[in-house]
Chains A and B, each alone.
Chain A
Amino acid sequence: MSIDGICISLPKEYLGLKVQLMCDSLPKLLLGIPLTIELVAISLSIGFVLAMCIALMRISGSRLLNIVSRSYVFYFRGTPLLVQIFLIYYGLAQFDLIKESFLWPFFREAYWCGILALTLNTGAYTAEIIRGGLQSVPHGQIESARSMGMSGILLYRRVILPIAFRQALPAYGNEMILMVKGTSLVSTITLMEITGIARHIIAKYWTPVEIFLIAGIIYLFINYLVTRIVRYAENRYTPYLQTNE
């Protein structure tokens, strides 16, 4: 039985909710999932590499690198994501310098502007998460690694980074969830992800409650999967920290 068949068999309205419309809208909203996932996956991946660099700059000991990384984190953590998206999309397009440069094909597309804003935003938060993880590595463990003759990259690869990442895992899980929700803001720059499609359907039928309810449940479902993945990773990499729930 197709989804259309199921929807028609439902009552038109139930307790003041247009359930048939909700059912009809579900497949349309589901079409937004690939774009939402794509935005999250790409910006989290690039953002993580960026964050790693920023965190290492922060603890590098160099005064200049420290100031650069601190300023970046300060600006992108201190301003709303929505404002960042608007500034990158509508703001940069007002400068002829940008419009006439080789960067314009990139900034012309709402998709890349959205990815850039999300990446820079998550980069700032993740840099702080990684820095916290790195600084939580017990000094004794570093010393004992050094006493074994490890130094430099080997020390980071074998001891510091694994411990830091384990420490940072729960906080990073939080960041992933925030990113899934953050993608809803790119609907303001014409991208048709889940919220964009929801707003579009609402604009047609004037039924915000019904449609946002379905959209909310889809986000809930995506984030449920994210929490399961993070929980699995925590069990796998930090079993000694887990309590039986």
Chain B
Amino acid sequence: MNKKIIMALFGATLVTSASALFQHNGPWTTVKIGTEGAYPPWNGTSASGQLEGAEVDLAMDLCARMSVECVLVAQDWDGIIPALQNGKYDAIMAGMSITSERMEVIDFSQGYATEPASFSTLSSSSVASLGVSGNVNLDLGPSADVDALKAALNGSVVGVQGSTTHENFVRDVLGSSVTLKTYDTQQNLELDLAAGRIDAALSDSGSMEGFIASGNGSDIVFIGPKLGGGQFGPGVGVGLRQSDSDLKDMFNKAINEARADGTLATHFTKWFGKDISM
């Protein structure tokens, strides 16, 4: 009986994993783009259930430039790379930083935006006394600001959205000096920070600024340096299957055009209140 069940499970798995080798053939007429829809202002969901945000506007813009029809698909963050590989969609535009780890399994277009990461906490928290320090490029080696941050956070509970560059940074740099809590979405992380369940959160600055501005997180303050480089990679780009180099060329060309005529900057300024395009 049990053997049969295991065999059936195994069989079902083989069918699923066979589709993991998805290959797109022929010229591109329709491009499906996966996004999270839970990461405003990069990509969010409006009150009426429509996807919206800087990347939604940018996607429509790029598709018009590439002369293809685009369909946006919402996908939970923790399945966003496997669904690309399975062919559920052809590109990811979900505030996804270009990192060497991700480059092992997928490919990226050139970067289109970059936003530093930053820790935040409640103004009433003991770690709030650390205050804000300047920008740190982690590619340039050790930093006194990061050391001060590490000392201040020692023994505290730090929250991040799971499977992100932020989680990687906490694991690599803070390690066992803090207790790590991972969340499925940025929004749930923000709610728990506001509720006081965690001492600090690490996220990209723009998302947290949006939450603070919304009024729900009005007693949240940033602490420590604005972090870039290192675990956070060189910026956010379009995630693509490694086999679709033609689509990569199309995206790169469209991004170049959007940058040249200023629309790239316009989209991000509209949603972030500042130009984070690159």
A207 to B2, CA, bound (A): 25
- Do A15 and B17 have beta carbons less than 8 Å apart? yes
Task: Identify A208's interface contact among B5, B82, B183, B191, CB under 8 A.
Answer: B82
The A interface is mostly helix, strand or loop, or mixed, namely helix
A203 to B2, CA, bound (A): 30
- Asked whether B71 is an interface residue with its Cβ less than 8 Å from the other chain, the reply is no
A17 to B9, CA, bound (A): 13
Give chain B nearest CB distance to A213 CB in angstroms. 5
Known: A15-B17, A217-B6. A203 touches B78 (CB 8 A): yes
For B82, list chain A residues within 8 Å (CB). Answer: 202, 206-209
For A220, list chain B residues within 8 Å (CB). Answer: 5
Who on chain A is nearest to B76 by CB? A199
State how many residues of chain B have any CB contact under 8 Å with chain A.
31
For A203, list chain B residues within 8 Å (CB). Answer: 78, 162-163, 167, 182
For B183, list chain A residues within 8 Å (CB). Answer: 190
A31 to B182, CA, bound (A): 17
- Do B78 and A93 have beta carbons less than 8 Å apart? no
- Do A204 and B163 have beta carbons less than 8 Å apart? yes
For B260, list chain A residues within 8 Å (CB). Answer: none
Known: A93-B195, A94-B195, A203-B162. A208 touches B17 (CB 8 A): no
Who on chain A is nearest to B16 by CB? A209
- Do B192 and A15 have beta carbons less than 8 Å apart? no
Give chain A nearest CB distance to B167 CB in angstroms. 8
- Do B78 and A90 have beta carbons less than 8 Å apart? no
- Asked whether A74 is an interface residue with its Cβ less than 8 Å from the other chain, the reply is no
- Asked whether B68 is an interface residue with its Cβ less than 8 Å from the other chain, the reply is no
- Asked whether A224 is an interface residue with its Cβ less than 8 Å from the other chain, the reply is yes
Task: Identify B78's interface contact among A99, A199, A217, A224, CB under 8 A.
Answer: A199
- Asked whether A78 is an interface residue with its Cβ less than 8 Å from the other chain, the reply is no
For B184, list chain A residues within 8 Å (CB). Answer: 188, 199
- Do A209 and B17 have beta carbons less than 8 Å apart? yes
- Residues of chain A in range 48-107 having any CB-CB distance to chain B below 8 Å: 90, 93-94, 99
The B interface is mostly helix, strand or loop, or mixed, namely helix
- Asked whether B144 is an interface residue with its Cβ less than 8 Å from the other chain, the reply is no
- Asked whether A181 is an interface residue with its Cβ less than 8 Å from the other chain, the reply is no
A207 to B83, CA, bound (A): 10
- Do A208 and B79 have beta carbons less than 8 Å apart? yes
Q: Mark A102-124, 1 if CB is under 8 A from B, else 0.
A: 00000010100000000000000
In this complex, which of B21, B105, B181, B197 has the most chain A Cβ atoms within 10 angstroms of its Cβ? B197
- Residues of chain B in range 1-43 having any CB-CB distance to chain A below 8 Å: 2, 5-6, 9-10, 13-14, 16-18, 20-21
- Asked whether B188 is an interface residue with its Cβ less than 8 Å from the other chain, the reply is yes
Who on chain A is nearest to B79 by CB? A208
For A202, list chain B residues within 8 Å (CB). Answer: 78-79, 82, 163
Chain A interface size, as a band, is 20 to 34
Who on chain B is nearest to A16 by CB? B17
Known: A17-B13, A199-B78, A217-B9. A108 touches B196 (CB 8 A): yes
Q: Mark B132-173, 1 if CB is under 8 A from A, else 0.
A: 000000000000000000000000000000110001000000
A180 to B183, CA, bound (A): 22
Give chain A nearest CB distance to B180 CB in angstroms. 10
A16 to B6, CA, bound (A): 17
A15 to B85, CA, bound (A): 17
- Asked whether B98 is an interface residue with its Cβ less than 8 Å from the other chain, the reply is no
A17 to B20, CA, bound (A): 10
Give chain A nearest CB distance to B133 CB in angstroms. 29
A151 to B50, CA, bound (A): 64
- Residues of chain B in range 240-265 having any CB-CB distance to chain A below 8 Å: none
A140 to B17, CA, bound (A): 60
Known: A99-B196, A108-B197, A217-B9. A190 touches B182 (CB 8 A): yes
Give chain A nearest CB distance to B162 CB in angstroms. 5
- Asked whether A27 is an interface residue with its Cβ less than 8 Å from the other chain, the reply is no
Who on chain B is nearest to A187 by CB? B184
Known interface pairs A190-B183, A203-B78; 18 further A-B residue pairs with C-beta atoms within 8 A, sorted by A's residue number: A99-B195, A108-B196, A188-B184, A188-B188, A190-B182, A199-B162, A202-B78, A202-B82, A202-B163, A206-B81, A206-B82, A206-B85, A209-B13, A209-B20, A213-B10, A217-B6, A217-B9, A220-B5
